[in-house]
Structure 1
Amino acid sequence: MKIVRYITALAIVACFALGTTTVTAQGNSEKAKKEKVAKEKMEKGKEMAQDKKEKKEKKLKEAKEKVSMEQKELASERKEEMKALQEQMKNASPGEKKAIQERMEKMKEEYREEQNDLRGKKERIIEDQIEVLEQKRNKIKSNNGKGNAYGKNKGDLTGREFGQQRAYEARNRIEVEREIINKRRNLVVLAEERIQNAKRRLETDIEEGEIKEEEVDRRRSAIGRAVERMTKLRSSLTESERVLKAQEARLEALSKEDN
């Protein structure tokens, strides 16, 4: 009888242990599934964000190319119009020549205004491009901060692999920083052109006496704000160049470590 009770007890214990193991296995399986789903969602989110960013970069690039094309077309059109007026000048009477000359001067001024507007449009596009690049740079910097500090959290990587990874990330940051610098240089050039054109137009209008004092003050204030903005652009450019030098020095140091 004791043997029967003993066997029965063993059977109960075995069943309990088996049930516990099954429940634990099921729990682990459910947890793994949830983790897998969460990871897939995260990866999908990253892909969507990257796709959105690439589309924006492409859109901005196309917009800038369109403005450049408009500038070339405008220059070509005005050049042909000027040639036509110059031809008319050859056989024109003194009175007609004066009218043609006035028309040519007006056309030049209109051309400068149109080109200035297109430069402004291009500036805004470049500013948007810089914003996208800065977001990319900050993301690279953020990723570097998640366990990629010098000598820390190497995970499954060997020392050499870890060094190569850091060098790869440093090169990426340098590449983005160089793009930002090129964009800022373009902005400075465009800003200088717009300021010089605005000053020249204002001086001409003042000399011709075709402008009120209030308008003179307004336009001078606008030019002053543009100069202040260009000063800030130059400062940002200088800072980007300083950051680039530091990154290049870091990459050189990483390369020496690997060797």
Structure 2
Amino acid sequence: MPFDRTNPNLALWLREMPTDPSFEGRPVVRPFTRGGGFRGSAINGTYLVMRLTQAFGPVGWGWGYEVLSDDVVPGAPVYEDGKLLGHESVQRTRIRFWYYPNGRPADLDNFTGQAKRAEFEQVGQTTYVLWRRPNPEKRQPGRFETDEEAWKKSLTDAISKAASHIGFAADVHLGLWDDNKYVNDRAAESEQQQRALDQAAAAEGAAEARRRAQEIADELARAETLAEVTRLRGEAIALRPMLKRHGLADVEATLGAAVRDAQQRVGALERQRESAVA
């Protein structure tokens, strides 16, 4: 059956499948090698939590998980000179992952629309006790080692697997990151998208700075006491860094002129009041 990208059932999957090559200049996908020579790519767990939060809201609100069980089970046996020394072991964590496909309403208790919570189970696992082979070159004997972060890694593994089941970073799990062309294309696309977002944020910030400057100027024009002018002058000074950051020298100059005009006008009013009282 052909892959139908217009199928509404795939909307979330297709939206969240592409993975950014990096976040703030740090890679979020790393290669790994497991026993037996298996190679692949793994996604940064914290980056994935951020992606889930961006899509659904804070953990525990728009999405989350419940730990159903965790245990430690025997792994591979370890022999030396035909004698069983012990077993490696694996730590497993089973979770119930849940999320609101259409977003959670702010007032869920009184919400009457469609806000059904989707949920399913997933398992993560990590080697807890590992056998390190002897290293004659370093004069190190064979030894068992334990991983004190096994429970945390298993939980991260379970969350990552669950997230991939609804499309998040699915390109990593599909093996697309093993293709250099795909990785390079994603890097270029991600950079272009980030540049567009930065430009939009800058434009929004500039518009907000202009709006606030106009508000202060309008209040200065209505001010009738030196106390009001002093307060508004402080707000104008505090706004200067934002105006400079967005290159709004003209707005900064206009606001400075509004402060001076208000000081002169209100100063004259104060002197008139003082003369009338005298």
Q: Same fold (TM over 0.5)?
A: no
Which structure shows the higher strand fraction?
A: 2
Q: Which has the larger radius of gyration?
A: 1
| TM-score normalized by the length of structure 1 | 0.30
Which structure shows the higher helix fraction?
A: 1
| TM-score normalized by the length of structure 2 | 0.28
Asked which structure has the greater RCO (Cα within 8 Å, sep 6+), the reply is: 1
